[in-house]
Structure 1
Amino acid sequence: MTKTMRTLLGGLLLAAATVGAWWAWLGWESGYTVDPETGATSGPYAVWQVAAAVLTLIVIAAVGGWFWTPWLVAPVMTVTFTAVWAVRAASTDASGLWAVGAALVPIGTAIGATVVSGAAAWLRRRGGAPAR
């Protein structure tokens, strides 16, 4: 397999895994919760859902960094996660505040994916595993 084909396949796998992580933990949630005593509204995600999504993305970035370069992992994961998150948020938020999230999600995703995939790539090189 050529390096170009390997990179293309890697990008597609990373994108699919990133969409899968979003769907598994966040994609199915559609409602807000109202506390009957205080009237406070929260949601649409519970803390455990976001934590699980972040942990799943960490695993994807680590595996991606081990097999591919962080220069592939970080942009693919950032663009993919932001796109699926923003499309859903824009379609369910009447307030327009989804745009703030759409500006913040790529920042966190890019930083996290870069750090985690970079660490995995560094560990692969340091451990003597063959470069791919």
Structure 2
Amino acid sequence: MRQGLAKSVPQLVVGLVLAAVTMGAWAAWLGWDQQRDVQADGTTTGPYEAWQVIGLVLTLLALVYGAVSRDYIAAVAGIPVGLTAAAYVDWSDDSSGLFLVGVVMVMVGSLAVTAGVSALIAFLTRHGRRSRRTT
């Protein structure tokens, strides 16, 4: 029992750190841009540009790789938690209430993608370790 607790505490701490860093990454990449762009035909786009979202994704990919390659696989759950919280805070001023649909989509999508990427990184990392040992 005690050994299981000793293993889960670092996972929890790393998960909380990842959630906080993820929220900071959202603020750095997306949080400052709240202006929608009005096109010539009257439609609006934004507020985020593609390069901002790509920057956030690459930042989070580095976080996932860093955590998974150090065997903090359970801690990777902190990333979807951080993204969901950041989306909620950023979008909660929408008076229509539809922001909750977007927040749920961020939660489900980020959980699925983070789990899939984590599994892929874990597989490749372990496979790479095994192949180095056999040579």
TM-score, structure 1 as length reference: 0.82
Q: Distance between the aligned counterparts of 2:92 and 2:59, measured in 1?
A: 23
How do 1:1-132 and structure 2 match up within 5 A?
2-35=6-39, 37-73=40-76, 75-91=77-93, 93-128=94-129
Identity %: 38
Q: Distance in 2 between matches of 1:7 and 1:103?
A: 25
* CA–CA distance in structure 2, aligned partners of residues 100 and 31 of structure 1: 20
Q: How many residues align?
A: 125
When Rg is computed on C-alpha atoms for both structures, the one with the higher figure is 2
Q: 2:19, 2:79 within 8 Å by CA — same for their partners in 1?
A: yes
Contact 1:69 / 1:121 at 8 angstroms: preserved in 2? no
CA contact (8 A) 2:19 2:80 kept: no
Q: Gaps spanning 5+ residues in structure 1: where?
A: none
Normalization by structure 2: what TM-score?
Answer: 0.80
Amino acid at match of 2:87: W
CA RMSD of aligned residues (A): 1.9
Distance 2:42 2:65 in 1: 41
Structure 2 alignment gaps of length 5 or more = 1-5, 131-135
